Amino acid sequence: KLLGMPQTPRQILRASPEETPRDANPANVGLELFGYVGIEAVLDQMRIKTMKTGFEFNLMVVGQSGLGKSTMVNTLFKSKVSQKPTGPDYEERIPKTVQLQSVTHVIEEKGVKMKLTVTDTPGFGDQINNENCWDPIIKYINEQYEKYLREEILISRKRKIPDTRVHSCVYFVPPTGHWLRPLDLEFMRRLSKIVNVVPVIAKADTLTLEERAEFKKRIQKDLKAHGISVYPQEDFDDNSDDRILNNKIRDKIPFAVVGADKEHQVNGKRVLGRKTKWGIIEVENPAHCEFPLLRDLLIRSHLQDLKDITHNVHYESYRVQRLNESNLLVLSPINGLLGKDEVESNL
Ligand SMILES: Nc1nc2c(ncn2[C@@H]2O[C@H](COP(=O)(O)OP(=O)(O)O)[C@@H](O)[C@H]2O)c(=O)[nH]1
Ligand SMILES: [Mg+2]
């Protein structure tokens, strides 16, 4: 008896006998062997496979120092991962981020596991001269493509290549209420060519609702005027349904977010929020800020789309460029991707 045993995909696919249509339809030739199986069974197979293997998602936060990037990383995890209980005067000092740093948590929702990795980056803008402050970040993103390429190109490659590519890069815009600064424009222009950029208005609690809406419109205009294509990019809408949904999202981007890593008591419930003289700003309350929209876009509604665009567009153009770059590239089953000189010196 299989009772108590975990069901295998095949056992799930085998329908109970009373549901099985027993007619002489030639389309049902497999009936004897498999029971009733419709095309929809493919969906079950995909779902079961995903639930078993889980999936990975890699995020990065970028922006000037002090805009709340590290806090937002904590907010994201705290709003998703059950935490160890924390007292009312529980405090955790966030150290200043001095280097690129990745944190991974496994998040589970309704039996589906997700390995979420967030890469926190040191802020820039501390120097008088911010020239090339994007270099380390662009370098990191490209290094992850390079790593993937080197695995993919091997003659005997892994069945599942570890994926550290950045699927989405959240760019923090300072809440000035004016226009985008040249630095932010230049940074986003460069990033948007190699990664999915999701801009947010940082520390939105420092702006009124009217100021947020006004600033949002200005940023949208500014990005358009400078030809910067942030996520969800219009060029990649697959069909008219996509377009309708994504137009709604584009209208709301950049999300005005507030981050917090402390919990407060509100109406007998513990909520993540910031205490201000006007009361508690609850980060997970859609009436208070747009953090919930950001979270849902990234790790729920558009997760697979972000991964697909990373693979099919951003990684693909890296790959093409890299392989075109030179006929210097020679494949070696042992060494992966080598320059011709390196190969020759190895001979
Ligand atoms: N008002 C406000 N302050 C914030 C917010 N998020 C973070 N902070 C505060 O801003 C300071 C810098 O935050 P941090 O996360 O270290 O910024 P980072 O340098 O971008 O990583 C800390 O004192 C945070 O408590 C926010 O949404 N609103
Ligand atoms: Mg930081």
Question: Which of 61, 71, 93 should be mutated for ligand 1, with most atoms under 8 A from CB?
Answer: 71
Q: Determine the structural domain holding residue 45 and report its residue range.
A: 9-49
Highest mean pLDDT among 37-51, 302-316, 331-345: 302-316
pLDDT over 90 (residue 105): no
Average pLDDT, the chain: 83
100/148 Cα distance (integer angstroms): 19
C-alpha distance from residue 271 to each of 2, 20, 65, 262, 265 (Å)? 44, 50, 26, 8, 6
Tell me: the pLDDT tens digits for 223-255? 999 999 999 999 999 899 999 999 999 999 999
Q: Are residues 206 and 64 in the same domain?
A: yes
Task: Give the number of domains in the chain.
Answer: 2
Q: Which of 47-56, 264-273, 326-335 is the least confident region?
A: 326-335
190-210 residues labelled b (16+ CB within 10 A) or e (exposed): bbbebbbbbbbbbbbbebeee
Q: Are residues 139 and 209 in the same domain?
A: yes
- With pLDDT > 70 as the criterion, what percentage of the chain qualifies? 78
> CATH code at 75?
3.40.50.300
- With pLDDT > 90 as the criterion, what percentage of the chain qualifies? 56
Q: Is residue 107 assigned to a domain? A: no
Per-residue model confidence (pLDDT) at position 36: 72
Q: Are residues 62 and 180 in the same domain?
A: yes
Q: Are residues 39 and 154 in the same domain?
A: no
Q: Are residues 227 and 86 in the same domain?
A: yes
Per-residue model confidence (pLDDT) at position 337: 53
Q: Is residue 315 assigned to a domain? A: yes
Q: Are residues 42 and 84 in the same domain?
A: no
Q: Are residues 199 and 86 in the same domain?
A: yes
Q: Are residues 237 and 300 in the same domain?
A: yes
| Tokens read off for 276 | 């201000």
Q: Is residue 334 assigned to a domain? A: no
Nearest CA to ligand 1 atom 19: 66
pLDDT over 90 (residue 51): no
Tell me: the pLDDT tens digits for 261-320? 899 999 999 999 999 888 999 999 999 999 999 999 999 899 999 999 999 999 999 999
Q: Are residues 38 and 180 in the same domain?
A: no
Q: Are residues 180 and 297 in the same domain?
A: yes
205 lines ligand 1 (CB under 6 A): yes
94 lines ligand 1 (CB under 6 A): yes
